[in-house]
């Protein structure tokens, strides 16, 4: 379980998270929606310990992420992360991208790492791209590579940071289909997203972020189709 408890986070004078609490159970898919600058992505960076927090606590399987003695590199093996700008490693082939971390972080044998990488690449529909360099692929393919690369580490959780926002519209579908597949397989996910249809259909719960706090959280279909908070109503009427 991921447990976010009253987290505050500032960049200089700007307080981005103003007391956020959120529990995500194993097997649950939670979508986080909200305007830009509302702190959605920052929350993911804080869960993954890429950004430190100023106040509060984040527990991943009862381990305090930001405590002094926590081995963050080890903890991140449990937390797969996919970024808005996919961040594929341009100097490696698709297969090398996916096999690198299992090989050097989990210290698998080369054969084992390649086997697991191939399996995850086939999983996301890149079975015919093993020896291609990522820069030769479309954004949608690179984003699916990023998903496979994270999955090859066998994470318990996936953190997805606006993974379709930088894609051309016709490429959004293939990435969302991949995420749908993961959700059906029972992967625990926190998705920061602007895809309201995806949030409604795939996630169990939806949280609406407004100015650094969760303004509304509830069952996915209910929050998207029948929001209770006037702020959520206003936001949803604008994005539709």
Tell which one of 64, 89, 115, 221 touches other proteins (CB under 8 A): 89
Tell which one of 10, 21, 54, 77 touches other proteins (CB under 8 A): 77
Nearer to other proteins, 124 or 150 (CB): 150
**What's the rounded Cα separation, in Å, for the pair 146 and 58?**
25
Find the angle CA(75)-CA(23)-CA(210) to the nearest 5 degrees.
105
Nearer to other proteins, 178 or 232 (CB): 178
Tell which one of 40, 41, 42, 83 touches other proteins (CB under 8 A): 83
With CB under 8 A as the contact rule, which of the stretches 86-94, 113-121, 169-177, 209-217 interacts with other proteins?
86-94
Residue 74 sits in the site that holds other proteins (CB under 8 A): yes
Sequence-distant (6+) residues with CB within 8 A of 57 are 3, 5, 6, 7, 64, 66
Burial track 22-38 (b if 16+ CB lie within 10 A, e otherwise)? bebeeebbbbbbbbeeb
What x/- string results for residues 150 through 169 when contact with other proteins is judged by CB under 8 A?
A: x--x----------------
Least Å distance, CB 164 to other proteins, is 17
What x/- string results for residues 184 through 223 when contact with other proteins is judged by CB under 8 A?
A: ----------------------------------------
Residue 90 sits in the site that holds other proteins (CB under 8 A): yes
Least Å distance, CB 152 to other proteins, is 9
What x/- string results for residues 24 through 53 when contact with other proteins is judged by CB under 8 A?
A: ------------------------x-x---
Tell which one of 9, 40, 76, 118 touches other proteins (CB under 8 A): 76
With CB under 8 A as the contact rule, which of the stretches 121-129, 146-154, 178-186, 216-224 interacts with other proteins?
146-154
Q: Which residues are at the interface with other proteins (CB under 8 A)?
A: 48, 50, 73-74, 76-77, 79-81, 83, 85, 87, 89-91, 100-101, 104-106, 133, 146, 149-150, 153
């Amino acid at each position: 379980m991921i447990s976010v408890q009253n987290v505050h986070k500032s960049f200089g004078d700007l307080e981005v998270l103003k007391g956020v609490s959120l529990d995500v159970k194993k097997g649950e898919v939670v979508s986080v929606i909200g305007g830009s600058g509302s702190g959605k992505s920052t929350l993911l960076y804080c869960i993954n310990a890429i950004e430190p927090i100023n106040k509060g606590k984040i527990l991943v399987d009862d381990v305090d992420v930001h405590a002094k003695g926590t081995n963050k590199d080890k903890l991140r093996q449990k937390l797969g992360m996919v970024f808005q700008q996919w961040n594929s490693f341009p100097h490696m082939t698709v297969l090398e991208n996916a096999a690198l971390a299992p090989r050097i972080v989990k210290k698998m044998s080369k054969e084992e790492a390649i086997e697991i990488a191939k399996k995850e690449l086939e999983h996301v529909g890149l079975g015919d791209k093993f020896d291609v360099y990522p820069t030769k692929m479309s954004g949608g393919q690179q984003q699916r590579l990023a998903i496979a690369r994270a999955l090859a580490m066998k994470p318990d959780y996936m953190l997805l940071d606006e993974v379709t926002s930088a894609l051309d519209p016709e490429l959004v579908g293939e990435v969302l289909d991949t995420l749908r597949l993961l959700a059906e397989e029972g992967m625990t996910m926190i998705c920061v997203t602007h895809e309201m249809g995806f949030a409604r259909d795939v996630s169990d719960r939806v949280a609406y972020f407004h100015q650094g706090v969760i303004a509304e959280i509830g069952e996915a279909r209910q929050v998207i189709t029948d929001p209770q908070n006037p702020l959520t109503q206003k936001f949803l009427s604008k994005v539709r």
